[in-house]
Amino acid sequence: MSDPIDPIRNWAGNVEFHPARLHRPTSLEQLRAVVAGAERIRVLGTGHSFNRIADTDGDLLRIDALPAQVEIAEDRRSATVSAGLRLAELAERLQAEGLALPNLPSLPHISLAGAVATATHGSGDANQNLAAFVRGIRLVDARGEVVELTRGESEGFDGAVVSLGALGVVTHMTVDVQPTFEVAQHVYHGVPLEELTAHREDVFASGYSVSGFTDWGSGAVSVWRKMRLDAGGEAQQPPAELLGAALATEPSHPVPGMPTEYCTAQLAVPGPWHERLPHFRPDFTPSSGKELQSEFFVPRELAAEAFEAVRPLGAHVARVLQISEIRTIAADELWLSPCYQRDAVALHFTWIADLAAVEPVLASIEDALLPLGARPHWGKVFLSGPAAALATYPRAEDFRSLIERRDPAGKFRNAFVDGLFPRR
């Protein structure tokens, strides 16, 4: 139940964890005993965060050895699933039942629990982040007791979904599902950034999920459009041009020069939702594999201002950038979601794996975007970041009260949580 302590690093290798003990329980009973007996404890998922959100000098817990379960509701509108499942495995199980999640992020490699706790997202004007699909949570609280929370019924539910791991160990989630669907994706290279800025609403509304990739220095954007094909639908031949850019006739990788076989199928070839909505295939290294990441969510109505704020930094940014992705996400009601009560445009930066070189550029990005009300991604690299943006979360104090009510002794706290929500 408790593993020897070997060096533990996150996915990117930029964070090393030094817990007192590492636990990997194989049953709920073991998990409850570990939590009840710990003074301080945090959960480490698939390690895809780029900061110390999961760090602790107490006990570190992994839940990926718990039984993998996917239970479909009788009405087939929801499924109760093990929170430690990777999204790729969950998607395959749902697909086998003829069901789907409404959306997926770029990487299917990450766990459901980690994605939800940090409000990780995909893209699409009408698509919310993954946490908004959650209608029920089962967690082990500080006493080691099992607690169930339900959307629309449990007090503080909207605060408990994007929880930063501060309220307990989530073991199961009930998520919204829908009938399976197909998607066809295609790519346009060389869209002028000024054209994307001028026609941003049309471009991002032109597909079920749309992303723009740029280096901010060249003035060009590659636009990836994922078109949803519902039952009986057929893929239509995409237009030969988009804002003067030609339709790609060969597969592409978001990061120039990386192997295209790492990516999901393009060229408008239809396929199941879970094999098209992510950019990367689960059986290959995602993105570039050696990188740092930052991301900032700006109110969608300020998208043009955000683009114009970053453009003058283009040459500065390009020197330490692998690629930057622009996406849109719909508003939700989750207290710590970066999309809380506002539609967002997200500017994502995949940096080189050199924090010293990245930091001064990241400082410039934060100086440009935070005055626009940008909310940083909870699991990415930031400097002033979430602490500076906390004032843009109207329910931040309510979340602090929720922590104090559900975990008065601070068992699930760490330096990351204390920096944002210090004890009163």
**Structure confidence by residue, pLDDT tens digits, 309-324:** 999 999 999 999 999 9
What is the pLDDT, as a whole number, of residue 286? 64
In a domain, 364, yes or no: yes
* pLDDT tens readout for residues 160-172: 999 999 999 999 9
In a domain, 414, yes or no: no
In a domain, 356, yes or no: yes
- Residues 227, 370 share a domain: yes
- Residues 151, 259 share a domain: no
What is the pLDDT, as a whole number, of residue 30? 98
What's the rounded Cα separation, in Å, for the pair 56 and 41?
7
- Residues 341, 240 share a domain: yes
Q: How confident is the model at residue 386 (pLDDT cuts 50, 70, 90)?
A: confident
What is the pLDDT, as a whole number, of residue 196? 97
In single-letter form, the type of residue at position 187 comes to: V
In a domain, 401, yes or no: no
Asked which of 221-225, 279-283, 301-305 is least confident by mean pLDDT, the reply is: 279-283
- Residues 38, 17 share a domain: yes
What is the pLDDT, as a whole number, of residue 231? 57
**Domain stops at, among 42, 61, 80:** 61
Domain around 10: 2-61
- Distances 5 to 30, 61, 126, 362, 415 between C-alpha atoms, Å: 19, 12, 44, 33, 21
End-to-end CA distance of the chain: 35
- Residues 120, 49 share a domain: no
* CATH number of the domain where residue 136 is located: 3.30.465.10
Cβ(199)–Cβ(212) below 8 Å: no
Supply φ then ψ for residue 140, to 5 degrees: -100, 120
- Residues 251, 109 share a domain: no
- Residues 353, 311 share a domain: yes
In a domain, 387, yes or no: no
In a domain, 219, yes or no: yes
Q: How confident is the model at residue 102 (pLDDT cuts 50, 70, 90)?
A: very high
pLDDT at 232 over 60: no
**Domain stops at, among 14, 36, 61:** 61
**Domain stops at, among 148, 179, 210:** 179
What is the pLDDT, as a whole number, of residue 234? 63
pLDDT at 233 over 80: no
What is the pLDDT, as a whole number, of residue 388? 83
pLDDT at 1 over 80: no
pTM of the model: 0.95
What is the pLDDT, as a whole number, of residue 285? 65
In a domain, 396, yes or no: no
Counting the structural domains of the chain, the total is 3
- Residues 174, 186 share a domain: no
